[in-house]
Chains A and B, each alone.
Chain A
């Protein structure tokens, strides 16, 4: 004859146990989705100073302005225009991300009046001598990756999730230059503070660090200082954001070939 107290106790234990599992851990994907929810903007404009640092410590500086228009299915439109150095002033690159992975790009060199369409540009390519590959600069394409929560870590005194991102489709695996990446996301603001990139032979290739976090608006945080360090090559690229504006209502036709020539 069991007493009701015992039944209740047992039931509670069972219910608690059942509830504990979903309650305890978010999946990697869930973390990424949450990040997306919190950090996503419609459009963004950044004035950046890019400092390229060579192996021996010599530096080169460029100034660019970068505009991003978020589109459906994580497919963005990006326009980058150079302000400095003077001999490349007005050089611009327009990117329309495509669902099949073959992004459309247009290159405008002031000395060659007509923009060139760069067909089937590989995302693996590095952006104009920097340590950033095109695929590093885009927003995280959640649909084609598998995200696994690896654990937790502390970066610059803040608790972070450590999520592993691996290409989920054959296509993505072929297009990407990385076998997988690790992403550190702060538990409090869900902003990425660090990324590690592993090459096709599974060796650590690059480390990206985000610093000087600013709360732009609401839940939106950005970092004003980004460093991409190519550990294999010994080079670094430092990105400093001089000014930023979000959700200004940029028009779709701003991201067009016609705009490039202007």
Chain B
């Protein structure tokens, strides 16, 4: 990865031209980007329930319901009834409307003595005589089909129930329909009459409208916030402009790629540009910070740039890969919208990576070094200011209070697990809207005045023609309706059983005793013959094989609706024979399944992402321990978040569930940078504590600024029109800040406990065969040998540099990895008696490791050499990393010592080892 990056640094023009071409190519695709406002993408793909729903729609018509409510002191007045008639007629003419049920369209079946009427309740002429109106009122309020459905029991409200659907190819149905209905409502509103509409189309239109409004306010707002915090973090113009440029270009690429692959802009994919801004710039901050750090240390521009790129290449690849995996894991879910979001975000993040790699090096190269950094750092270090001093104190704090800190985090996490037990899944689309919003108030008012504006179907399918005519089936249907009424959670149910009962009663002169299901199916058949028509189409299918119960309610929360649906299932299992299929269906039922599914799914896909990231890190650091360790500071904030939510009563819904995925994708990047820097420092300094301090000093500022910037960015969501989004913003900011604390206190403590190596360093190490075959490495695999070399520490010696001085007390052994050393006995007169010369694989001073010994000879490097130095501390590191390798090492050292012993006790015997030093 280094090479391509360095190539880019060396060929800026080519890189920029390439970027320009690709940007133009993808930008040209932007007009093809389509917007998908429908919520169909929220349903579960390949869901068998969906097929059932489509069938129900075919049979009984759409369940896409809008209620137009007319409120007056008394709706049975000419003024109100005229308004209802005019609304009714007007609504029937609105494009897409398949059916209007109102007092003026419904039939009034009434029997008096020998007479029966089947005329519409309100005839062609609106009655004006009080007696007629009174009769009308009595008829309406006495009908079980009408009361609580089309008219309120107190006669102060009447509803027009409108079923409508988008015409084929119509994309803006919800908005258009809502506007058309509002126009009619405005036309009929007059003093004394309150009229408004509530329904699925209006909810969706409002939702889309608020969404667009949010986009217009929040994206600019969060951009401004990010730019401001960027500036504070890097305090140079280039530190702000470069990330913004790469972000904008990668947004163009992302949207272009979406257009090319046909992924539409939806409620979810619409956040990708904001996501690009947030995630993209964190990498830029890390790289620019590192670059400035190098400049501050005296490197010239090109060197600083190349060093930074060399160092950053690997960590940035890893963090990008893990974030892409994190979001990309969503393609394994079953929901279209999530799948689309998974693909789109993975592509966008990859695009962002490529754009950054192509544009950042040339821009840094061409941009003059910021004035602030041009002063070459002098040898004496001016006292460290602000953040570095804070980091120093923090490092000391961490070391001193290691155990209490761990205990504190552990305790908090355990405490929050208690909250998990009370976490509820409940997506409530209506409560997404602010309480003072028109839509919430209307929903509440409608439910109080008449009956809920939400509806679903319960389909009763007997499986054979005329099955519904069976009185037993009708009785069971009526029984289910009674059961639902008894739960108190349902406002009204209407079914064919109601119509049949009404007919039976009216055919017997209106005698209430006959408001029952008739005895024989022939009777039912004859009644249905009379009732047949448009009105009944909604309640029984063409062949009378299936019936439909329309359930009107006001349960907006997915948890509540799920509970009701389960209740229905239980009742059906008890009451209906297995040959009759009874199932609830409807758009809201499907959404409901999807919502709960989505929320749970997001969490489970998050946990598998989590595991994958852990595995990747384990591979990166070649240690399972390191992999697990890298996850702890990132999972703790998330555990605490959901525990907190559970304790406080904030529900898990489609919005709050996303926090986990977003947070892990972002927060874990900081940890990787932290750990990689630590491993590098460890390589140089060979001292874990010092490495920790140094790492905090280097990484402190980026970590703090990135976390604060992200928290601030999330907090801009407070400006949203949606309650759920506000929660998301606040909670995500909370997670970012807790993650920052964990990163600064937990990660260092955990890292200090294990030595860290990256696979990159391993691969780069060159070891000759002599080294591998050295007695010290007997029985070790090539990989193990490299690890020992890296853990122990390679030290470079120039030609002529002394390695060991006779007379000193030595505590380490050396092995030549590259180069040559000379062992000699320095004589008092200044001459040197050479004892031997050693090349790669040669070992000296092994006794010193185990016991402090005065050196008996001196060692000097003949040529430029790299020596492996092993002291007890190094051996400890090896032991901690792998006890097995450590055991083999010790065995080898013991063998070598055994040889020494043999030498000493049996002089003259050929020694396998080099001269004792």
Residues of A within 8 A of B (CB): 52, 54, 56, 58, 60, 82, 85, 87-88, 91, 107, 109-112, 114-122, 125-126, 128-129, 174-175, 200-201, 233
Contacts and interface: CB of A to CB of B under 8 A. Distances in A.
B124 A87 contact: no
Contacts of B115: 116-119
B526 A120 contact: no
B530 A121 contact: no
B111 A88 contact: no
B525 A125 contact: no
Contacts of B93: 201
A118 B116 contact: yes
Interface in B94-135: 111, 114-120, 123-125
Interface string B532-543: 111000000011
A200 B92 CA distance: 11
Contacts of B518: 111
A85 B518 CA distance: 19
A107 B506 CA distance: 13
A122 B58 contact: no
Contact of B543 (A60, A87, A116, A119): A60
A206 to B, nearest CB: 13
Given A58-B543, A121-B119, 7 more contacts: A88-B522, A111-B523, A119-B115, A120-B117, A122-B123, A126-B533, A233-B534
B532 A128 contact: yes
B82 interface: no
Which 5 interchain pairs have the tightest Cβ spacing? A129-B532, A87-B525, A111-B523, A116-B116, A109-B526
A128 B526 CA distance: 10
Interface in B112-165: 114-120, 123-125
B533 A201 contact: no
User: In terms of DSSP, what is the predominant structure of the interface of chain B?
Assistant: mixed
B117 A175 contact: no
Contacts of B763: none
B865 to A, nearest CB: 88
B118 A118 contact: yes
A87 B526 CA distance: 7
Contacts of A54: 542
B361 to A, nearest CB: 64
Nearest to A129: B532
B887 to A, nearest CB: 78
A119 B116 contact: yes
B520 interface: yes
B469 interface: yes
Nearest to A203: B93
Nearest to A91: B526
Contact of B58 (A56, A118, A174, A175): A56
A110 B116 contact: no
Interface in B503-539: 507-508, 518, 520-523, 525-527, 529-530, 532-534
Given A87-B522, A111-B520, A116-B111, A174 B117 contact: no
A125 B469 CA distance: 23
Contacts of B508: 112
Given A87-B525, A107-B530, A175-B124, A117 B114 contact: yes
Contact of B469 (A82, A87, A107, A109): A87
Given A87-B466, A110-B522, A128-B529, A201 B89 contact: yes
Contact of B525 (A88, A119, A126): A88
A117 B114 CA distance: 6
A137 to B, nearest CB: 16
Nearest to B469: A87
A118 B118 CA distance: 7
A119 B527 contact: no
Nearest to B534: A233
Given A60-B543, A112-B507, A118-B115, A88 B124 contact: no
Nearest to A108: B526
Q: Count chain B CB atoms within 10 A of each CB in A82, A111, A118 and give the residue with the most.
A: A111
B527 A109 contact: yes
Nearest to B523: A111
